[in-house]
Amino acid sequence: MDTLDLARLQFALTAGAHFLFVALTLGLATLVALLQTRATFSNSALHLRMTRFWGQLYIINYAMGIVTGLVMEFQLGLSWSGLTDYAGNVFGSALAIETMVAFFVESTFLGLWIFGWNKLNRWAHLALIWVVTLTAYASAFWIMVSNGFLQNPVGHVLDGGRMRLTDLGAMVTNPAAQVAFWHIMGGAMIVGGFFMAGVSAYHLRKRTSEQDFFRKSLRTGMLVALPATFFTVTFGGFGFETLQPNKIAAWAGDTGLLADVQAEMTALHGPGDYLPSLGWVQTSGITMMTLWAVLSFVAALSWLLMPFRRVVYGFRLWHRLLTWMIPVPFTAMIAGWLFREMGRQPWAVYGLLTTAEAMSPMTLSQTIFSLTGFVAVFAVLISVNYWLLARHARRGPGAVALGDQPIDLPVPAPTF
């Protein structure tokens, strides 16, 4: 592999890993907000305990996601200075807004929600988690606005060899960003729903003492996951209408269409290879769609089984299946991300800046050192996140620290 391939591999591994944290964060935030809404309106002690348990898992994943996001930010200046020099004034504006939303608004209100248990009015506390959830959506939206610009650059002019933003509205309403945002939101709901159902099924299979707790958690996860599968595939279908010509040609595998795209790009940009890897595009697309079908089938089957209490409590094969399904939506999300990004190659900014031009002037040894460092850091972060999530998920709601009522210690008598 040459320097460019290693730099692309580094970004793919780190961005893909961070994407997994984001998907679970978005899904769990929505589920926790729904659980707390039910608890607040019905005064249900059980749903309040569910909020605390799943909220603690959400916080663990959110914290690790923030760390991976910070590490990944270094790559833009380290490995892709050509991209930031050429187009940073445009797509960087969306990243700046996302940073303000995530690190100032979302983090602030999440802190208030974490430390506001037993201190704030229950309605004010409920409002906090919804602000956190909505700002998480806003953060994802601005990321997709930035990515959508790279897929379909609009709202800019070239000024002195660099892009300058002229129409923020065109950038925000870019179909390549709008459709992808809703598609990813649906996918995140599937991730969160299957995660909640899978952990709950584990406890039901182990016959833990909290059977009613996890029965209702399983129902909640599947009640979100199944509609989300239809929502996701709908916007995925709309997304095919926004694909670039080279991605459409690679997905179809039509040699005539591929030749036409290559000839058109050569006429516009001079000699070069302007076609993405057919193997990557087709394999990732087929994987994404196949896993969506599997997820839809399991979610529909679960809906049919959930009304029968004896089945919910005693069907251990189903419990095992749901536990095994936890990584499947993550894999589907990564396959979809690969389909979207690999299909854009060889362009960093489609039709304007190639990936080779976007890369920083780095030597092979520097790139290998950078790749090794980033992969090592992310491997540690992913391992720690998995260990913490698995540990707290297995321990169950009895060991939750979030929202514990503080113990009133006796005030010592004054001494004179």
Domain layout of the chain by residue ranges = 3-244+276-399
Query: For residue 414, is pLDDT > 50?
Result: no
Residues of the chain above pLDDT 90, percent:
48
Confidence of residue 405 (pLDDT cuts 50, 70, 90): low
Residue 344 has a pLDDT of 87
Q: Structure pTM?
A: 0.92
Region 103-124: mean pLDDT is 89
Query: For residue 396, is pLDDT > 70?
Result: yes
Q: CA quadruple 12, 13, 14, 17: dihedral positive or negative? A: positive
pLDDT in tens, 323-359: 999 999 999 999 999 999 998 889 999 989 999 999 9
* Dist. CA 213–CA 232, nearest whole Å: 28
Residue 398 has a pLDDT of 84
**Could you tell me which residue, 410 or 24, shows the higher pLDDT?**
24
* Dist. CA 407–CA 160, nearest whole Å: 65
* Cross-strand bridge partners of residue 157: 164
Region 350-379: mean pLDDT is 89
Residue 194 has a pLDDT of 96
Region 123-135: mean pLDDT is 94
CB 36 within 8 A of CB 361: no
* Dist. CA 263–CA 250, nearest whole Å: 15
- Helix 107-115 vs helix 122-151: angle between axes, to the nearest 10 degrees? 150
Confidence of residue 1 (pLDDT cuts 50, 70, 90): confident
Query: For residue 165, is pLDDT > 60?
Result: yes
Query: For residue 16, is pLDDT > 60?
Result: yes
Residue 184 has a pLDDT of 94
Query: For residue 265, is pLDDT > 90?
Result: no
Residue 141 has a pLDDT of 93
Residue 287 has a pLDDT of 96
Residue 255 has a pLDDT of 85
CB 176 within 8 A of CB 242: yes
Query: For residue 410, is pLDDT > 70?
Result: no
Confidence of residue 100 (pLDDT cuts 50, 70, 90): confident
> What is the 3-class SS of 263-313, one letter each residue?
HHHHHHHCCCCCCCCHHHHHHHHHHHHHHHHHHHHHHHHHHHHCCCHHHHH
Give the best-scoring range by mean pLDDT among 60-69, 85-94, 169-178, 404-413: 169-178
